[in-house]
Structure 1
Amino acid sequence: MTSSQSTTSNPYPRSLFWFRRDLRHTDNAGLYRALTQSAQVHCVFVFDKTILDALPNKADRRVEFIWESVRELQTALREAGGDLIVLHAHAEQAIPALAASLDVQAVFTNEDYEPSALVRDDSVATALAAQGRAFHAFKDHAIFAADEVMSKTGQPYSVFTPYKNAWLRKLNEHGSDFYVRAYPCENYWHKLAAPTKGLAQTDDLPSLEAMGFARTNLLSIPIPTGMRGALQVFDEFMPRMDRYFDQRNFPAVRGVSYLSVHNRFGTISPRYLARLAWQRNTHGASGWLNELVWRDFYFHILTHYPHVVGHAFKRKYENLAWENDAEKFAAWCEARTGYPIVDAAMQQILQTGFMHNRLRMIVASFLTKHLLIDWRWGERFFAEHLNDFDLAANNGGWQWAASTGCDAQPYFRIFNPVMQSEKFDAEGKFIRRYLPALEKVPSKFIHAPWTMPSLEQKLAGCVIGTDYPAPIVEHAVAREKALALFKVLG
């Protein structure tokens, strides 16, 4: 795959821009490069059969989110004088074939750092080269990627804090918004290729049903989609940004941004978000900017330590003697652990495809450190259920929780689920929202309902073992077993 960040003095007569995880026609690095380097630019999005056919759930909220966002993008491009060709095909074959049909000289896109995407892009670039066409990919969904943030010795980072410090130094080194300024695509929309009868006439946007998928509860949750949805979510978050640092850990409070799915599919520019947070420069805004740094950090890890896909970052923990009890895993997946904060969190992801970040840490710690189940089992579950699933962040988060990843904290960090519940959902508001069986449980028992006297259980309509499960493990016992598991390998 060839990648270029430079402009050329000889613009291409015709180019093709390939949208992927960047579903917006504003402040889009690759689209801007295509428009400024070409006399005319066609646009395409491919519902890639290679990806879609592998999804086990055909009522997948992510596919519906993408479909709605692509529909909006197509309308926006038409309003700007262009169009969006939408295909349901295998991208590796479809992109070179479309490039030949349109007789373009180059295909532009934005980089994707996942291993399967790199293989796909290499294949596309090779096929295009055989046709005499160029392939250019640009950084767009990270602020800093590849080798842009490295140690003083030129080595990649493996611990977040020094990476963050270097990331912030680089952001500030020009004393302006140099690295986060917008790409003014709108100045060049007149170069977008107008709809063409036949090949590029895309009124027949393939329906979800035609692609083998069904509608979900996405729009009734509701989760706003597309560029307008992203701006709606961000505008709602802006007045709360300054309180982010203080409220981010409480799942019953609207403390987080809820932009993760929009970041995942690029319906809003990461540069726009980083620029506003950086310029705001309050305690809360800096805390939120920190989350964008984490996002880049996990891309950095995936790029420089690709063995993390399927393997422990800390190689000595590759062969931990996980118990991998299938019945306990099923209880975790189905919100039947007997620990309310864990079960409420699992109900949240099952019902909405979203899980609050604090809860992700709690349930991941519980699976790996209480049930002694391989982090890869949980990673796969999240990959199937999270609307905002991103390989780099999901892998990084799970390995952080399991203490197998790039983390300065030792393996004996084991979250006590009851203490976490008491601290971050003190009144049990979040728990009651997702576990109606506990609705009438007094607050003093809501975090550990098995401690209720039998009479109080009956009065609350929550008999443990009947209306709500008893804990499948005891915290103190599980903690000692987890410590022993890790100590064997030092």
Structure 2
Amino acid sequence: MQQRKTIIWFRRDLRIQDNAALFSGVEQGSIVPVFIWSPEEETKRVVGEAASWWLHHSLLELDRALQRRGSKLIVRKGRSLPILKELIEETGAQAVFFNERYEPGIRFRDQQIKEALEKESIEVKVFHSNLLFPPLSIVNNQDQPYKVFTSFWKKCLQMPIPHSKSLPTTFNSTHSDVKTLNIEELGLLPTRAWYKKFKGYWVPGEKGAIAKWEQFIEERLSGYSIKRDYPFVQQVSRLSPHLTWGEISPRWMWHQLVEQENIVSNDGQKDIYGFLRQLVWREFGYHQLVSFPEMIDSPLRKEFTFFPWEEREGEFAAWKQGRTGFPIIDAGMRELLETGWMHNRVRMVTASFLVKHLLVPWQRGASWFEETLLDADLANNSMGWQWVSGCGVDAAPYFRIFNPIIQGQKFDEAGDYIRQWVPELKHLPAKYIHCPWTASDAILREAGVELGTSYPFPIVEHSFARERALEAYNLIKK
């Protein structure tokens, strides 16, 4: 095969291992690794402040990984097509390879770029490397996208998943004289200081992803299927930010687990398939996004277009700050502000509280999560909010309204999660920590809690909020 120079356009695939575009470029000859920061081209709400912090550090790690292999990352800022053309001119590249992204605006942009470059006789190859299966490849017997997750999951279990390929330890790279920005010049780090706590909790980049994966396999996979819903147990993988930025391959993870399937107990197999099911849930979100791109802004169940949402600014602010007076809600929202992440069970409960107890539109909650989550992911965030709101495919019924007190008692029985994130309640007995307003004045004084001062009264009464939500739901049923 004739040696050729190929631009590898990194996007949300910031890794070396099992990177289809990178592998194909290295196989063909010399590569020019490139990252282009084009915020004006992004589908809205894709890269919030928290995710920008992660991206900054992930790019630094990718550049270090490339340099260890004799290459480096070329960094540019601006519109993608003109910059790619400039790089082709500067490097003499004959091809551009990249891995698919699935946000509606990006897919449209990428197709335009592909057509424009091919008109100038530049080879363009697009690979599916960040999902288990290409979207639109998993369809039902009527050749329609699945709308029920269980059926989608069962179909995925029947489909072959390609294995990853090994890359050489060094790359053929001849672009040392090509100008590049420093990653700091992209201005990704937020101007507010709240993100500075993140470094105490996270190690962005492929090395951090693999270390966290190995820790999960060794310490957390056993018991995962039973304990994953309990936020204080620390049983989940916490790999979601790494998956969001493509620092670890879901296909590689899948095969790592499946290869263990025959050497573990029945309980071990339950844990393995419990985690694989979560990978497929992530997959389901992307397949929905491609099939129903309107889901990022509009309810997929059209009757919810007429739902009587309310703009409750004060209550929305209290929810964002973790000052609702419901301890499990406040613990989750404070964990989010402190760490840029929230346990999935608590995500469901906090999201349900916003849309069903407060009647705040789900799109506002989705926007806040996209601003504050390190794993902000347009597909899964949109799917999750539509699921909780009852307006998406295979969604939880709107009339299923989580009781935040019972949810806390069930999944944080001793109150350990609440004590960690709502420390002003840490001295309350477990009997009262999920509903401090039921404690006597003497118990509150002994615990150092003054309702309305050190900790707020509930901003809404649960039974009232439940009835109000059901009345609103009945309006759109008619």
The residue number in structure 1 matching 2:265 is none
Question: What secondary structure sits across from 1:18 in the alignment?
Answer: strand
**CA distance 1:220–1:43, change in 2 (3 Å):** closer
**Counterpart in 1 of 2:434?**
447
What's the offset of the Cα at 1:238? Answer: 0.6
Residue 157 (structure 1) aligned with residue 146 (structure 2): yes
Correspondent of 2:274 among 274, 277, 287: 287
Secondary structure, aligned partner of 1:137: strand
**2 CA distance for matches of 1:105 and 1:94?**
15
Cα distance, 1:209 vs structure 2? 7.7
- Contact preservation (8 Å) 2:46, 2:376: no
For 1:56 and 1:155, locate their aligned partners in 2 and report how far apart those are by CA, in whole Å: 27
Tell me whether 1:261 sits opposite 2:236 in the alignment: no
Task: Indicate whether 1:39 and 2:10 are aligned.
Answer: no
Partner Cα separation in structure 2 for residue 210 and residue 421 of structure 1 = 40
- Could you tell me how far apart the structure 1 residues matched to 2:22 and 2:318 are? 46
Structure 1, 338-347 or 478-487: larger mean CA deviation: 478-487
Corresponding residue of 1:392: 379
Distance change >3 Å, CA 480–CA 12, structure 1 → 2: farther
Contact 1:29 1:110 in 2 (8 A): yes
Q: In the TM superposition, what are the counterparts of 1:91-240 in structure 2 within 5 Å?
A: 91-171=80-160, 179-186=161-168, 189-190=170-171, 192-197=172-177, 199-200=178-179, 202=180, 205-207=182-184, 213=190, 216-217=195-196, 220-239=199-218, 240=220
Evaluate the alpha carbon distance shift between residue 222 and residue 145 of structure 1 in structure 2; reply closer, same or farther with a 3 A threshold: same
Q: d(CA) in 2 for partners of 1:157 and 1:302?
A: 12
For residues 331 and 395 of structure 2, the distance between their equivalents in structure 1, rounded to whole angstroms, comes to: 29
| Structure 1 position 459 matched with structure 2 position 446 | yes
Q: Secondary structure at the match of 2:418?
A: helix
Q: 1: distance between equivalents of 2:204 and 2:140?
A: 38
2:317 equivalent among 326, 330, 334? 330
Post-superposition CA distance 1:31-77 (Å, at most 9, x none): 112223x332211112334269988999x342232222222222222
TM-aligned CA distance change 1:124 to 1:229, over 3 Å: same
Q: 2:6 touches 2:31 (CA, 8 Å); kept in 1? A: yes
CA distance in 2, matches of 1:205, 1:297: 36
Q: Could you tell me how far 1:185 is from its partner in structure 2?
A: 2.6
Instruction: Determine the C-alpha separation between the residues in 2 that align with 1:416 and 1:233.
Output: 33
Query: Structure 1 106/406 Cα, relative in aligned 2: closer, same or farther at 3 Å?
Result: same
Greater displacement, 274-283 / 286-295? 274-283
Cα displacement string for residues 212-257 of structure 1 (whole angstroms, at most 9, x for unaligned residues) = 7457325532201211111111111112212111111111111100
**SS of equivalent residue, structure 2 residue 76:** strand
2:14 equivalent to 1:23: yes
Unaligned 5+ segments in structure 1 are 1-9, 172-178
Structure 1 pair 447–11 and aligned structure 2 pair: CA distance change class (3 A) = farther
CA deviation after TM superposition for structure 1 residue 211, in Å: 5.7
Corresponding residue SS for 2:354: helix
Alignment of 1:393-408 (within 5 A): 393-407=380-394
In the TM superposition, residue 312 of structure 1 has moved relative to its aligned partner by 0.2
CA-based RMSD of the aligned residues comes to 2.2
Q: TM-score, normalised by structure 2?
A: 0.92
Contact 1:96 1:124 in 2 (8 A): no
Deviation at 1:96, TM superposition (A): 2.5
Q: For 2:434, what is the secondary structure of its paired residue?
A: coil
Shift of 1:182: 0.7
AA at the equivalent of 1:261: P
- Name the residue aligned to 2:329: 342
Among 442, 463, 474, the residue aligned to 1:476: 463
Letter in 1 for 2:8: F
* 8 Å CA contact 1:341, 1:417 repeated in 2: yes
Q: Is the 8 A contact 1:81 1:194 kept in 2?
A: no
List runs of 5+ in structure 2 lacking aligned partners. 262-268
Q: Aligned equivalents of 1:211 and 1:382: distance in 2?
A: 18
Number of residue-to-residue matches in the alignment: 467
Other structure's SS at 2:29 match: coil
Cα–Cα, structure 1 residues 280 and 375, in superposed 2: closer, same or farther, change >3 Å?
same
The answer to whether the 8 A contact 1:428-1:443 is kept is: yes
State whether residues 49 and 91 of structure 1, in contact with CA within 8 Å, keep that contact through their aligned partners in structure 2: no
Are 1:88 and 1:211, in contact at CA under 8 Å, matched by a contact in 2? Answer: no
1: CA distance, partners of 2:46 / 2:222: 40
Q: For the Cα contact (< 8 Å) 1:145–1:296, is it kept in 2?
A: no
Mapped contact 2:389–2:395 kept (Cα < 8 A):
no
Name the counterpart of 2:353.
366
1:356 aligns with 343
Partner residue in 2 for 1:48: 38
Instruction: Give the counterpart letter for 1:387 in structure 2.
Output: L
CA distance in 1 between counterparts of 2:11 and 2:224 reads: 30
Q: Kindly state the Cα deviation for residue 361 of structure 1 after the two structures are TM-superposed.
A: 0.2
- Structure 2 SS opposite 1:30: helix
Q: Distance in 2 between matches of 1:351 and 1:67?
A: 19
CA-CA distance at 1:409 after TM superposition:
4.0
Distance 1:51 1:343 in 2: 35
**Structure 1, residues 156-182: CA drift from partner, whole Å, max 9, x if none?**
1111111111111114xxxxxxx1411
Contact 1:95/1:124 (<8 A) preserved? no
CA distance in 1, matches of 2:125, 2:40: 22
Q: Is the alpha carbon distance of 1:458 and 1:294 closer, same or farther for their aligned partners in structure 2, counting shifts above 3 Å?
A: same
1:353 to partner: Cα distance: 0.6
- Offset, 1:408: 5.4
Inter-CA distance 53–309: structure 2 relative to 1 (3 Å threshold): closer
Q: Deviations over 1:384-439 (max 9, x none)?
A: 01000000000000000000011254221111100000011111111111112112
